[in-house]
Amino acid sequence: MNWATISEQGGREINEDCLGAFHNGDRHIFVVADGLGGHGRGDIASSLAVKAFDETLAGNSEPLPLLLSSAFLMAQTFVLTEQNRSGCFFQMKTTACALAVDRGHAMWSHIGDSRVYAFSHNKVKKKTLDHSVPQMLVLTREIREKDIREHPDRNKLLRVLGISGDTPGFELSELQELKKFQAFLLCSDGFWEYILEKEMCALLKKSSSVEEWLQLMRETVEERGKGKEMDNYSAVAIWT
């Protein structure tokens, strides 16, 4: 596998996104977290979440479903512990999405509106569904999928890490055969907001490397974001 990463603050004062690409032998975990809360607290939450995935992978030989579940539960514990220590109960939360790979299999998981896309034959074959108000409106057929990006409630999330007393409502995919996919993209909403899925696919088709693919997508995101108050934007692109 080959991968490339970017994480930029966009038009914000602080980059509250955090990402990681970790391996332990043949096992890999890729993660993107988008911190919520502002005032320098969201970045703490996202970095703690990413740290949890790193530490879980380092000390865990469980199957992929248990590996990802353990990582999300550890991330929740890390964020809640820091909330209690600092007294910042309402300013320290984060989304997260992750992809785990081991011995020819892959599985992903997410909470919030950071997304995982899985590509095959230059097409999006699978993607996560946001835990957000607009995504619920799509599921109830009140709006169309393409309307999510412009919806006034797009930033209203229904599930995140860091809610005290709540078992984190992350979702796990089914276990997948890695050979069925040519590429994956993990990204925060500040990234997918400015690039359509059909554009991701077109750029994947024309790219000769994972670095080129990510760079072309980045150029699209940055061009669309000009003159706007861009959110932080982060992505991990993986070629299998």
pLDDT at residue 199 greater than cutoff 90: yes
pLDDT of 91 reads 77
Tell me how far CA of residue 162 lies from CA of 8, 16, 169, 239, in angstroms. Answer: 23, 15, 11, 31
* Cα–chain center distance at 184: 11
Backbone dihedral angles phi then psi of residue 163, each to the nearest 5 degrees: -95, 115
Pairing of strands 2-8, 17-24: unpaired
Instruction: Count CB-CB contacts under 10 A for residue 77.
Output: 14
DSSP states of the chain: -EEEEEEE-TTSSS--EEEEEEEETTEEEEEEEEEESSTTSHHHHHHHHHHHHHHHHHT--S-HHHHHHHHHHHHHHHHHHHHHHHT-SSS-EEEEEEEEEETTEEEEEEESS-EEEEEETTEEEEE---SBHHHHHHHTTSS-GGGGGG-TTTT-BS--B--TT-----EEPPPEEGGG-SEEEEE-HHHHTTS-HHHHHHHHHH-SSHHHHHHHHHHHHHHHHTTS-PPPEEEEEEE-
pLDDT at residue 38 greater than cutoff 80: no
Token pair 């989304």 is found at 95
pTM to 2 decimal places: 0.96
d(CA 46, CA 134): 23
Q: Indicate the pLDDT class of residue 40, thresholds 50, 70 and 90.
A: low
Backbone dihedral angles phi then psi of residue 193, each to the nearest 5 degrees: -60, -35
pLDDT at residue 102 greater than cutoff 70: yes
Q: What is the pLDDT of residues 138-161, one digit of tens each?
A: 999 999 988 999 899 988 999 999
Q: What is the pLDDT of residues 64-85, one digit of tens each?
A: 999 999 999 999 999 999 999 9
Q: Indicate the pLDDT class of residue 240, thresholds 50, 70 and 90.
A: very high
List the domains of the chain with CATH numbers. 2-239 (3.60.40.10)
Residue 170 structure tokens: 């992350």
Backbone dihedral angles phi then psi of residue 22, each to the nearest 5 degrees: -125, 150
